[in-house]
Chain A
């Protein structure tokens, strides 16, 4: 669903031309989604604070040849092209296929890698060698992928779409699926290592990856093409693909290079790191080593949520006051705002703020856009919470305050607000905790917060449960002080009310 919406938004906002990349001097900023997993760009299982992958090696080399320093930028895969158009980085490189549709949005370098879809089955399977044999069988693949389209076009196959490749191969080995069709590099890293599985048959389909460059930067495209071409002729590309164990028949055809592959050192090290059995002590140490990374994500989450909530409280208070005490046309607009924002998804609002507004010349940094998005969204909810709080205070309290000579503002601040706050605090705390978790949505606009770190780590280690529990605990811990604070405030505002 998320990818679908993202696709629609790319179509909506992507068409307009974006400002040219404004990279820092001497740096080539390249974007990928490290949640996509091995062997593209992923966290090194031996040292999770490091990014590795064949695309990391590729971009290091390309940047080096351009006399630049490569700098990795994390962004959600769906958002890689909108972010490129926005000028958040110079290029996007993450298994992005060169297609006609995308060519209207961005420039592509010459292909740096070609591959195909690979069929993987259980070891004992003898009869399934090609898609033609697969009628009536159950296939697993990634949602919205080329493989999914091929399977559906084939017809007669029951296709199950997944969000993550690790679970697909697990379901194949435990018998839920009859076969898996996925990109060859993924099969190499996630399917073949499983002793119960094997890859079979001829290559299916064609995939050609290119480095995406903004439409406005043909000069960079040229330079990258030169770098790629020299890397190809000097055997540098082949060396990288050999090391990662993903050199394949299509590459051999494309490069006219049929010599046998050299040792896949990176693949072997990866498999060794993943396959080693651990004592519980090592396992605990392993989990402990994730904590600093998760904590860094948690700090971002906390910053986003705290600033977002401050904004939401201020905005909500303003909206509630305008609706209750100003009324008229401003009151009507406050109501329309509340209804419109509450009635539309936060994800789309974030997309609009981050990728849409640059079209009218407003380009916000990811943090500012995230905070504004969260603040504006939750402000609409807070408005209703405060309105309920204000309405819970009897009118006679306002009469009493006015009759003592206070003006309406003084009466609001000193008499109505403290009483309304008491009523509003519990739902406000609810909203804050909810915001803390909703803040994970901002990973679509290049922010790396707690959930994103979790996704990256989990896809590197295939460990969604253990790291998931660790992440959940982190959320719980950072939410706790606010729950406590709210309870203390509630107590303060409940003074003299014995029964409530």
Chain B
């Protein structure tokens, strides 16, 4: 139950990051131009902005502030963990961090780079 709550919290941040990546890429003139040249329509970016606003409203303020603070320093505030490696800085995580990953309600940060860690194998 508590793990479900943590997963929901992380999933919301995860969705926010996916949206932010899409918005950022489609605002980037070279990427937008390339997509349009390929024949893809990218006409309604305001829909993504609106979806982002709505999603952000559903995220607890503390978590949102944490995400936005980290986003100011890194392109990707949330990174996945694979084989106990943070895929943001590629440093190994201590065993303690791995064992604490499902502590109720806690969002885990990489001790080395400070990014939010996301284990998808709950």
Q: Real complex partners, A and B?
A: no
